[in-house]
Structure formats: C-alpha cells, structure tokens
Amino acid sequence: MAARHSQQGVALLVVSVLVLLAALVLGGALRTAWFNELITGTDADYQRALSNAQALLHDAELDIQGRAPNGGPCREDGPEYEHSCRRRGPPALAEGTVWFPQDGPVEFDPVRDWLAAKSPQCAQGICLPEGLAPEFWRLPAAELDKVKSAAAHYGEFSGAPSPLATNALLANKGWYWVEVLAFDASAPAPADNADIAPDVDNPYIFRITAMAEGNKPATRAVVQGLLVWKRVDS
C-alpha cells in the first residue's frame, strides 16, 4: 500500500508541473498575441494618419493655386464652391482674410505686414518663414496648440467636400501650414534645380507642412512638400 500511495503522489506532482507549464505557455502566447495586436493597431493608426496628411498636402496645393477639386478655378461667388476660396484685397484683409500671392510682392506685401505683427506669424494656414520653428510639430502641447490655431483645414479654402461624415479624423485632427518663401529671381538657379525657380512676376516658393493625428494620443504623421508657381500659357 505504501508504494501505491507513493506512486499516486508522484503522479499528482507530475500533473501539477504539467498544468503549471501549460499555464506559462498559454500566458506567454496571450502576451505575444496582445503585443502583436498592439503593434498592428498602432501601425494601422499611423497609416491612416499618413493618408490624411497626404490628403491635406494635396488640398494645400489646390488652395495655393486657387483651384477647386475638379481642377477648375475656385471662385468666391461660384455656385458649387461658394465661400470656399480665399478673398483677396484690402477689404478682405480688414476682415482678417489673407491670401497667397499670385501677382508678385505688390499683392503680398500687405499680407506680409499683417502677418508680421502676429505671434506666431501665421493665419489661416499662411505663414512667414520666421513664423514656424524647425520641426514645430515637436513643440510641447500648449505651444503646438497655438500653432494649430493658425492652421488651415481640409477643404476650408479649396471647396473640397467636408470629410466629417466619412473621415472625422481628417476633419478634426488635420492641419496644414504654408510658408511663403521669397525667391531671388535675379540669382541664377543651379542647372540641376532649374525647375525650382518660380516665375519672375511671382517669385515665391511655397513650403507646405501637413500634419494629421490618429485615434491614439501618440499617433502623428507629418509630410512636407514644395510648390512653385508657374503660369502656363494658354
């Protein structure tokens, strides 16, 4: 009888060890699955934010060119894109509306003077080069919120349909800023960068920064691009 009890005790110990090992394996598998899901969710959130940032970059290009999403001119009084374009001229500036230069410094100088008195030197997504710090999207939250308040939003000046119903993140957590960089048209452009030289009558280069955030607090995508204004003879 003593031997039989000893064998039962050994069997119980073996079973206990096996159960413990199975629990450890299961726990490790669950942790691995949770970690993989976390990585996948984070990557998906970033890809969504990146897609929104790219959409904002394209919308900013339309805004600079005064174009509607269909490629046609965006008009202040147009039936389809009513109130979507930027108003221009002294009356608009008196109401706080700024615009991109299309006819050279004479047109943009009043806007430049108006922006220079602001902090940051931005309004409605148009900024002077000194108005934005390098990599300003890394600023502390309170300072970044101030920069966000001077940004433009998707469709605000291009007439693109509001994405609120289909893409709330793009509507609520997307911004773009355009720095208007003066270009010295009298200086010869490098031969390998001749295409970057803007027209002499509108010597500006537009540097666009588009930023979109995701569902997760730490998710942020930033894309930048340059646009050079060149008129095409009809």
Report domain extents, the chain.
38-228
Q: Among 22-31, 72-81, 140-149, 183-192, whose mean pLDDT is lowest?
A: 72-81
Indicate if the pLDDT at residue 36 is higher than 90.
Answer: no
Q: What is the mean pLDDT of residues 150-179?
A: 93
Q: Does an H or E element contain 27, and which?
A: helix 2-65
Q: For residues 231 and 89, which has the higher predicted lDDT (pLDDT)? A: 89
Rounded CA gap, 119 and 225, in Å?
A: 24
Distances (CA, A) of 3 to 6, 13, 14, 16, 218: 5, 15, 17, 20, 63
Q: Is residue 175 classed as helix, strand or coil in its secondary structure?
A: strand
- Report the predicted TM-score, pTM, of the whole model to 2 decimal places: 0.78
SS3 85: coil
**Average confidence score pLDDT of the chain:** 82
- The structure tokens 């002294």 sit at 90
